[in-house]
Amino acid sequence: MPPLDALAARAVHLARCFERAVNDPGPWAIATFSDPVQAEQVLSPAGVTFRARFPAVCRRFEGQVLAELSCRGEPVAYRYIEVPDEQDYEVAWGLDADAVALA
């Protein structure tokens, strides 16, 4: 089990990301292998989802890749995503209110 201070830092980070995702209109972007692609911010009662559509030229690898969520050019979060087999692809990055509350 991670040390208590690491768990606290993770919980605070998730809460700050969620608060910013809800209240900051952006612009938001998601980047995988290329320059950031503008992301649509979709608010719902369950949380926030960012959607970005990547053209074929942004696709270099299949499988898991590291993606970056940014707001006004400032990195906010990173996660691994699965790049599908299609030429063009969409990334949907969700921040769930329940998951943040449990962190």
- The SS3 assignment for 35 reads coil
- Rounded-to-integer distance, Cα 14 and Cα 27, Å: 20
Task: Count up the domains in the chain and report the number.
Answer: 1
Which pLDDT score is estimated for 61?
63
Tokens for 80, please give them. Answer: 């691994």
Which pLDDT score is estimated for 10?
83
pLDDT tens string 72-83:
999 999 999 877
Element (H, E) at 37: strand 37-44
- Rounded-to-integer distance, Cα 32 and Cα 81, Å: 9
Residue identified by tokens 């996660």 is 79
In the predicted structure, residue 1 carries a pLDDT above the cut 80? no
Structural domain of 30: 4-102
Sheet containing strand 89-96, edge to edge, reads: 74-83, 63-71, 28-31, 37-44, 47-54, 89-96
Q: Average model confidence (pLDDT) for the chain? A: 84
